[in-house]
Structure 1
Amino acid sequence: MPRTARPRGRTTLAALACCLALGCASGGTPQGYEPAPPASAPTGPGHGVVTWASSADRVGAAADGRGYRLVVRTSVGGTGLRVRLSNAFGDQPVTFENVHAGLQRDGAALVPGSNRRLTFGGARSVTVPAGGIVYSDPLPGRVPAASKLVVSFYVPRAGGVLTGHWMAMQTSYTTDGDHAAEESGANWARRTGSWFYLDVVTVRPRPAAGAVAALGDSITDGWHSTTGLDRRWPDYLARRLRASPETTVEGVANEGIAGNKVLADGPGQSARNRLSRDVLSLPGLRTVLLFQGVNDIKAEPGATADELIAGYRTLAARAHAARKCVVAATIAPYKGWQEWDPAGEAVRQEVNTFIRTSGEFDAVTDFDRVLRSPDDPERIRPGFDGGDHLHPNDQGMRAMADAVDLESLDCGSR
């Protein structure tokens, strides 16, 4: 659906710091912790639209007295920034103190004047029970699109299982003790390639703006893209959406987990088991872009085409019941990967035929067509191959994003 083009332009770091530090806008309603995300996300003015997200999983053992400084990139800009902290996989309560949001200057150092305190129902600390989540109060000020946002917090008391996202493809930082309010990076010497506890950031963008969530596996998670440069295919998609006047979808949530499957738990809960928490709970969500299945096929024993198709139908039915649009992507070629065999290839072809022709989805994105080699359609194109014959490189990631019909993402608003 055509719409008026958004203003474009580059904002300086100093201007961004001014907006966050001085408060360009304010408003919103505080919200406390929730025992579990709802099946369909709230859409009131206090919740806004997701601008960044990552899928929660078990990432090791929790630790007391640890500080976290997590670097993420926003997709859509807006006011009233909120963060969601998750203890979804924890078996004990977790206490968060001194939670701040600022802008990255370099490494763990922040833009001077940008680091702002977040509260929870007006309080400076919050304890989240096992299995729970918590949204912060809205933060006055505007956060531009494509900002390198840094969320810092201190965990004085934790225990049991640590909730987070293992493969961030982004460098963040940890420390001992409480240094969350500091804008210097001097006390943040330990680097990490994971995100911890933080799983959603929202803003209130312009009216009518919505978001798309990419539900996927390691390809969506960005494996073999360049670390720290935001070159996963959902990142390239966010850049296209910012530049396009053809859609009101602006927020992009990357809900990929390396090794994830549609049908069975393994690395992360299966797509069927995490759909509500990781996708349907996202504020402002309009569209689910489903791109999974290769891990189901190449498993031992691998899923049959009928089993995988039934899984897709379940995911689509649940998303449609939540009044979300569903765009399905065909499974990309992977011949040359050690688990490839002709039987699995036959399943992939049958499933892709279903995706293209069944009419079960609101739209289809043909990643297979985009990525396959013209010389051997069972293989990824050499120029797009990240080196293991399964995961695309930066160029392949960009080609995938370029293949998405942006107007198809808006079907939920029609």
Structure 2
Amino acid sequence: MGRYTKWVSTWGTATSISDRREAVYAKDLTIRYPIRLCFDGSKIRVRFSNLTGTEDVKIEKAFADNVQLKQRGQTPITIPAGKEITTDEIDFDAKAGQTVNISFYLKECTQMNAGTLVTGPLSGGTYAYGNFAEAEEFPEDFCRPTSWYYFLNTVDILTEEKNRALCCYGDSITAQDWPDYLQKELDQRGIKDIAVIRRAVCGTRILRQYDCITYQAYGLKGETRFPIETNIAGLEAVIIQHGINDIIHPVGVEVNKFRPMTDMPTFDDLKGGVEMLYLEHCKRNGLKAYSGTLLPIYGWRTYEKFRDDLRNEFNEWLRTSKGFDGCIDFDKAVRDAAMPEKFAEGFDSGDHLHPSKDAYRAMAKAAADFVENNMKK
């Protein structure tokens, strides 16, 4: 046996439903995502997802840098509707800190249903009209940056036994910057054996999902998502920071017919959902579950005191429940000391729900402190 004996995910994102715009198909399109590798290793493999698609997707050709990816020794690679596939493993001299470009070309008319919006200093890709999957660079006149991840779901490395993955699971707050800052913070602290795998979808809820095209991009409910999104090689623990959309979305059909007040959960609903859908799954699969408290919402457009009371009650349970293996108090890290229902000065992005860049860094620092105290070997 060689030095590299264990498959561990080095990068990942969720698969959701792309925003339902006028154009839902693409043709003759190349997409490239730079993926930062966390570990040394000898092989890599790539998972593509068409989980939310209703038509098969054919990837004419795909590459990890200049090494072609195949499925059962063949190209093109086909991702059946509603399925995920993993490419054949390829020999690859992977180095920690290296950036690998995953490029793929969609030759035929392709349904672009399976996509997730993600931001952060380690995130983002580029698309180009035409076949440039093998090109060293895209032509400037025919390419644009994108924060949408289509089809690419996970990248695994065959690496050392000591390495493991940590999943950050949540909604738009986790789909934004703090998981990337957490990875950078761990690197700076010399914690090199943990890869941060983001599984987050903007607008998603624990208990419910939207089936109307207006809000389909808000993704699948927790019951559906969690078992799929914790399918991560080498996964050791999950940070669960989820539930704020269950609290802030319902407004009543007289305001928005898709958001009835009957969707408004009680504390017992939220607690029971997390216990049944998340904690029981973690226990069955030998995963540590860490809670992440919900952030301030004072000033958000649907803010009401009863919503904040529910958030505070839920947060107190997240801090104290013995069902978790620990709590990262994100709320405490970003709230105002004198008025804890709102963000601290400089920590509000401006919408009174999503944090600023500085607040995301504070969240990452709180998470890194926790990881260093609880996961460092």
TM-score, normalised by the number of residues in structure 1: 0.78
Deviations 1:53-88 (A, max 9, x none): 111112152334322222343444433122111111
Correspondent of 1:100 among 63, 77, 82 = 63
Is the contact between residue 14 and residue 200 of structure 2 (CA under 8 Å) also seen in structure 1? Answer: yes
1:201 maps onto 2:155 in alignment: yes
1:236 maps onto 2:181 in alignment: yes
The residue number in structure 1 matching 2:114 is 163
1:58 maps onto 2:12 in alignment: no
Equivalent residue runs for 1:385-400 within 5 Å: 385-400=348-363
The residue number in structure 1 matching 2:286 is 323
The residue number in structure 2 matching 1:295 is 245
Equivalent residue runs for 1:87-236 within 5 Å: 87-102=50-65, 115-157=66-108, 159-160=110-111, 162-168=113-119, 170-186=123-139, 188-222=142-176, 232-236=177-181
In terms of mean alpha carbon deviation, does 57-66 or 390-399 score higher?
57-66
Is the contact between residue 48 and residue 154 of structure 2 (CA under 8 Å) also seen in structure 1? Answer: yes
Deviations 1:310-338 (A, max 9, x none): 11112111111111110001111111111
* Alpha-carbon distance change, 194 to 248 in structure 1, aligned in 2, over 3 angstroms: closer
1:313 maps onto 2:275 in alignment: yes
Is the contact between residue 63 and residue 159 of structure 1 (CA under 8 Å) also seen in structure 2? Answer: yes
Amino acid at match of 2:375: D
Aligned counterparts of 2:83 and 2:27: Cα–Cα separation in 1: 18
- Report how far residue 383 of structure 1 moved: 2.2
The residue number in structure 2 matching 1:253 is 197
Correspondent of 2:333 among 354, 370, 376 = 370
Aligned counterparts of 2:77 and 2:56: Cα–Cα separation in 1: 10
Aligned counterparts of 1:409 and 1:236: Cα–Cα separation in 2: 18
Aligned counterparts of 1:275 and 1:253: Cα–Cα separation in 2: 13
Structure 2 portions without partners, runs of 5+? 211-217, 251-260
Taking every aligned residue pair, what percent have the same amino acid on both sides? 28
Aligned counterparts of 1:158 and 1:285: Cα–Cα separation in 2: 36
* Alpha-carbon distance change, 355 to 87 in structure 1, aligned in 2, over 3 angstroms: same
In terms of mean alpha carbon deviation, does 188-197 or 306-315 score higher?
188-197
The residue number in structure 1 matching 2:43 is 80
Aligned counterparts of 2:48 and 2:119: Cα–Cα separation in 1: 16
Root-mean-square deviation (CA, aligned residues, Å) is 2.4
2:294 is paired with a residue whose SS is coil
* Alpha-carbon distance change, 294 to 197 in structure 1, aligned in 2, over 3 angstroms: same
* Alpha-carbon distance change, 56 to 67 in structure 1, aligned in 2, over 3 angstroms: same
1:410 maps onto 2:360 in alignment: no
The residue number in structure 2 matching 1:112 is none
1:149 is paired with a residue whose SS is strand
Amino acid at match of 1:397: Y
Aligned counterparts of 2:293 and 2:334: Cα–Cα separation in 1: 10
Is the contact between residue 287 and residue 409 of structure 1 (CA under 8 Å) also seen in structure 2? Answer: no
In terms of mean alpha carbon deviation, does 116-125 or 360-369 score higher?
116-125
Is the contact between residue 327 and residue 408 of structure 1 (CA under 8 Å) also seen in structure 2? Answer: no
The residue number in structure 1 matching 2:266 is 304
In terms of mean alpha carbon deviation, does 146-155 or 347-356 score higher?
146-155
| Number of matched pairs | 347
* Alpha-carbon distance change, 289 to 137 in structure 1, aligned in 2, over 3 angstroms: same
Deviations 1:242-285 (A, max 9, x none): 3446x675111111111111111140102221011122x11111
Is the contact between residue 249 and residue 409 of structure 1 (CA under 8 Å) also seen in structure 2? Answer: no
Amino acid at match of 2:267: A
Deviations 1:31-62 (A, max 9, x none): xxxxxxxxxxxxx74xx111111111121523
